[in-house]
Amino acid sequence: MVNTKLIGRNKKVSHDYFIEEKIEVGIELLGTEVKSLRAGKLNLKDSWCNINNGEIYVLGMHISPYEKGNIFNKDPVRVRKLLMHKKQISNIYGLMKREGYTVIPVSAYFKGSKVKLSIGICKGKKLHDKRQAIAEKDAKRSIQRELKERNRY
């Protein structure tokens, strides 16, 4: 079993989108970016994926510069290439062409010594969907609270 360690999650995704499918992909990183990720300096909040010339890239992902990296540090929000098979990319491209679908990074983690990114094929939520999701969460929370109270005695 390969050891996994979570680096960061995009909590905004589950609030704004329905996640239809999750795919694990590799990410192309340079120099001190991996050291910065080991320190947990990652922000996926406003990131998204785009396909250009048959290759998939992640945009808006912020990896803070490594403190001891000086001249070797790269731009924190540079465009980074994702590592996927051509067939997977063409499948995702077909899904992105459908109305309302987009590809967004959900989480980043270490799998062994490799950095992996979990991307989600998502469909945007409308305002009433968000309200319904919040109401469901509140209901689950109150049920759990009641069960906890009853089990106490």
pLDDT > 80? residue 122: yes
| Residue extents of the structural domains in the chain | 4-125
4-125 under CATH 3.40.50.720, yes or no: no
Mark 21-53 as b/e (b = at least 16 C-beta within 10 Å): eebebebebeebbbebbeeebbebeebbbebee
The string of pLDDT tens digits covering residues 52-111 is 998 999 999 998 888 877 777 778 888 999 999 999 999 888 888 877 789 999 999 999
Nearest-CA neighbor of 33 among 72, 59, 86?
72
The pLDDT assigned to 35 comes to 87
